[in-house]
Structure 1
Amino acid sequence: MAEIVYPPVIGAARTLFRALDLKIRIEGAEHIPRTGGAVLVSNHISYLDFIFAGLSTLPTKRLVRFMAKKEVFDHKISGPLMRGMHHIPVDRAAGAAAFGAALKSLKGGEIVGVFAEATISRSFTIKEIKNGAVRMAVGAKVPMIPMALWGTQRLWTKGHPKKLLQRHVPITILLGEPMHPQRGDDYDAVSADLRERMAAMLDQAQRSYPEIPPGAWWQPRHLGGTAPTPEEAAEMDEAEAKAREARHTP
């Protein structure tokens, strides 16, 4: 397919990151296959995660087709960009269409990016994940690659003001060894294994992160930060969901 939009967007992002002197560290890029499909499964801590997750495949000169909620495609600015980069819209009321589109991309040799937690983690820990990524990997007969992002939450995350032009922010991008789920596996058990791997990678990224001030809002509670605990974050998510439902109830 023609790539008219994606390369210029990547170029613009990299130019901006260099101007801001973001300290981007990518480890494990060798786990990205040079050819063929793969499911890239990342944690989700920022509205910008798809940009940084996409950088992980640049050493192999490959592009990622991310699955993102339909509302992003409906936006007058982000919509044309997302469609131009051939990302995959997800309508939560009709998820089968998105799943089918992802399978088609994977079978066509594309890398598909998935945020398995579905929504941003306010606690900056790994939330529970469903088995959709595993089912996609099995259905397309492709590997599944776990990923951990850290530092992106400092630029723009849920419940905090945007700081898109903040300078010198370290960004960590870790990729783990590919997983190869097979038909007949317990998909929930494989998803639990995936979550454990992602949690271990995220913990590694968090503990090796430079210059952490005491009580930082962007640091998880168990590491001395002031982010909500997973339990508090779950309560906040539930309250937000109820409020959203109330707004859309006639």
Structure 2
Amino acid sequence: MSFKHKKKFGQNFLTDQKEVLQKIMEVSNVTSDDTVLEIGPGEGALTALLLETAKKVVAIEIDTDLEKILRKKFDNNPKYTLVMNDVLETDIQSFVEKGTKVVANIPYYITSPIINKLIENREVIDEIYIMVQKEVAERICAKKGKERSVLTLAVEYFGAAEYLFTIPKEAFTPIPKVDSAFMSIKLYKDNRYKNQIKEEIFFKYVKAAFSSKRKNLLNNFATLGYSKDELRSILNEAKISETERAENLSIEDFIRLITIFENK
């Protein structure tokens, strides 16, 4: 019986691409001490490799049609746990312990919610290695320029993102419309930015700064109810031009600027 891929779950499986899978194992540096969380194991091509190396693999799969395939392949392996559920509704902390590593080819249509969910579970998750659409990886990992967005800053606030390698669309079944990329997020354990600016305050200003992509900081921050004169003085104090756009600010620039805002 051949498996029919479902559009509603964003299913594009890596066909037996030994090269890509080996590369994933290499860059994610899975060791025999690691507990690995895999999201959307599909038919288990990556799962099999993870089980060869990791101490424990917890796979979360939403598609009940895949359950039989996965159970048949891996159920007799004591290192393997299959959780049949929607990852966004799963209590991750009840399945994995501290220091967990995520290695996954995630469903692209819920990339941002999955990343947010994993960051929320940073108490137990240390490192995230995921396959996403190429342009999403470029956006998250962009250091400056028009690719940067609220998502970029949301990741930067909690960890360091890195673009690792590109995977051509032909490596998947069915062949998707776009190329993919494998990237990592190493979550900070020292709360370096959180200790400087509280989360809700940080995002209040970041969202305002990006509220209209075409507008500069002066106009976008005006949505917070400040007069243009007040804003000019704040930007001037932060040594940031009033015509600057949010996409060109580093996270350090934002923190410096927000600190000035909050001290006013």
Query: Where on the TM-score scale, by shorter chain, does this alignment land: which range?
Result: 0.3 to 0.5
Using the size of structure 1 for normalisation, the TM-score is 0.37
1 or 2 for the larger relative contact order (CA 8 Å, sep ≥6)? 1
Structure number with higher strand proportion: 2
State which structure, 1 or 2, has the greater radius of gyration over its C-alpha atoms. Answer: 2
